[in-house]
């Protein structure tokens, strides 16, 4: 697959991919010190992950631009044989990082990536943008 980091084969693990170039907020590209919201959110997630119960079950990765520019601080959760999710409009804070990791813990405990809405932490409600079917998924309507 070459040396291109975009062409790595997917691992049989759960990845939390953070858009490192995301805006800081709806109205600001950067914070007062000139840092992008995505980079700040990646740092908040990395710091929270160190002591979170899912730390050994999820790999935090960064990617420049997930093309969700209208939804600042965007992430993509993906795993083999589970639904994937793109979430955005987070504040690059520890509070939002922990809420997202709490959701991911439940996601990891599911067999298919579906976490019942009643179990979602408040900090992720209203942040879901896209649901991505796993490779080979075929929808069979009832």
Encode pLDDT of 13-29 as tens digits.
899 999 999 999 999 99
Pairing of strands 75-78, 84-87: antiparallel
C-alpha dist (Å) from residue 32 to 47, 65, 91, 99, 130: 21, 21, 14, 25, 30
Q: Contact 129/87 with Cβ under 8 angstroms? A: yes
Q: What is the pLDDT of residue 40?
A: 96
pTM: 0.87
Within 13 A of 78's CA, how many CA atoms are on the CB side?
14
pLDDT at 1: 37
pLDDT tens column, 34-50 = 999 999 999 999 999 99
Helix 94-109 and helix 37-49, axial crossing angle in degrees, nearest 10: 60
Residue 138 has pLDDT above 90, yes or no: no
Per-residue pLDDT, averaged over 113-134, amounts to 95
Using the predicted structure, report yes or no on whether residue 4 has a pLDDT greater than 50. Answer: no
Please state, in angstroms and rounded to a whole number, the distance separating the CA atoms of residues 115 and 102. 11
Mean pLDDT of 111-126: 95
DSSP for 44-94, please give it.
HHHHHHTTSTTTTTEEEEEES--S-TTSSS-EEEE-TTS-EEEE----SSH
pLDDT digits (tens, 9 = 90+) for 58-99: 999 999 999 998 999 999 999 988 999 999 999 999 999 999
pLDDT score of 5 more than 80: no
By C-alpha distance, which of 24, 137, 111 is closest to 71? 24
pLDDT at site 137: 79
């Amino acid at each position: 697959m070459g040396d291109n980091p975009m062409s790595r084969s997917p691992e049989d693990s759960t990845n939390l991919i953070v858009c490192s170039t995301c805006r800081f907020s709806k109205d600001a590209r950067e914070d007062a010190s000139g840092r992008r919201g995505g980079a700040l959110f990646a740092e908040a997630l990395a710091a929270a992950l160190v002591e979170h119960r899912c730390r050994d079950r999820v790999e935090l990765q960064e990617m420049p631009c997930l093309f969700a520019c209208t939804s600042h601080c965007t992430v993509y959760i993906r795993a083999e044989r589970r639904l994937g999710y793109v979430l955005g409009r987070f504040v690059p804070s520890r509070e939002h990082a922990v809420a997202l990791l709490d959701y991911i813990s439940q996601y990891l405990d599911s067999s298919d990536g579906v976490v019942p809405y009643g179990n979602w932490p408040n900090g992720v409600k209203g942040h879901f943008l896209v649901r991505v079917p796993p490779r080979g998924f075929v929808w069979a309507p009832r």
